[in-house]
């Protein structure tokens, strides 16, 4: 489970969903891998991932905090399946909207432009939703090299060197999928 902070800013949304902007912040320190289904192997892989991201225990606290967060800033909504949230059909108290959002992915000190396809489900009244559930419809591709994410521990460096000797490389592209929920915190 990742720690997410969803800070949506909107002008006239939900009346005009295309005017929505916002940020999705991800606490990478909460990253846990579950590739092997074996607790010890998954734990070791999680530790390697933290070291690659420079947020592991061997990293100086200041640098660890600088690399701890990733952020997707929604700059524009390119298209929506409905213009207004009230126009989306309601099913079991939820209204779902297909969205194509353009923005910037910032991670490890580097920003890269991204377009994401999402399904956004709103609970509560259309004029003042109480909960938003965001799921990516297809993974977002992220370049490890572009964001300077690489083997930094002995095991990772050894694996990378061994693979290069046999003409293989660690894949540069990773697929990132979103599945997050934000709840209204009440009046400010």
**pLDDT tens, position by position, 22-62:** 888 888 888 877 778 889 988 888 888 888 888 988 788 99
Residue 88, in any domain of the structure: yes
Q: How far apart are CA 62 and CA 75, in angstroms?
A: 29
Q: How far apart are CA 2 and CA 26, in angstroms?
A: 7
Residue 188, in any domain of the structure: no
Residue 36, in any domain of the structure: yes
Q: Number of structural domains, the chain?
A: 1
Residue 89, in any domain of the structure: yes
Q: How far apart are CA 138 and CA 177, in angstroms?
A: 7
**pTM (two decimals):** 0.76
The CATH number linked to 84 is 2.40.128.110
- The residues pairing with 132 across neighbouring beta strands, listed in sequence order, are 122, 182
Smallest Cα–Cα separation from 180: which of 96, 120, 92? 120
Q: How far apart are CA 108 and CA 183, in angstroms?
A: 27
| Parent domain of 35 | 3-183
**pLDDT tens, position by position, 138-165:** 988 988 889 888 776 656 554 545 445 5
Residue 32, in any domain of the structure: yes
Helix, coil or strand: residue 126: coil
């Amino acid at each position: 489970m990742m720690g997410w902070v969803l800070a949506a800013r909107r002008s006239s949304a939900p009346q005009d969903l295309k005017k929505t902007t916002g940020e999705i912040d991800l606490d990478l320190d909460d990253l846990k891998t579950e590739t092997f289904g074996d607790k010890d192997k998954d734990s070791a892989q999680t530790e390697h991932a933290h070291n690659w991201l420079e947020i592991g225990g061997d990293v100086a606290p200041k640098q660890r905090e600088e690399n701890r967060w990733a952020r997707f800033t929604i700059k524009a909504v390119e298209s929506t399946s409905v213009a207004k949230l009230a126009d989306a059909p309601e099913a079991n108290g939820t209204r779902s909207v297909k969205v194509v959002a353009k923005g910037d992915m910032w991670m490890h000190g580097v920003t890269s432009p991204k377009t994401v396809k999402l399904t956004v489900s709103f609970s509560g009244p259309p004029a003042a939703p109480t909960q938003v559930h965001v799921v990516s419809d297809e993974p977002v591709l992220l370049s490890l090299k572009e964001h300077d994410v690489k083997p930094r521990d002995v095991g990772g460096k050894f694996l990378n060197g061994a693979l290069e000797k046999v003409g293989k490389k660690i894949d540069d592209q990773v697929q990132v999928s979103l599945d997050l929920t934000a709840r209204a915190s009440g009046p400010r």
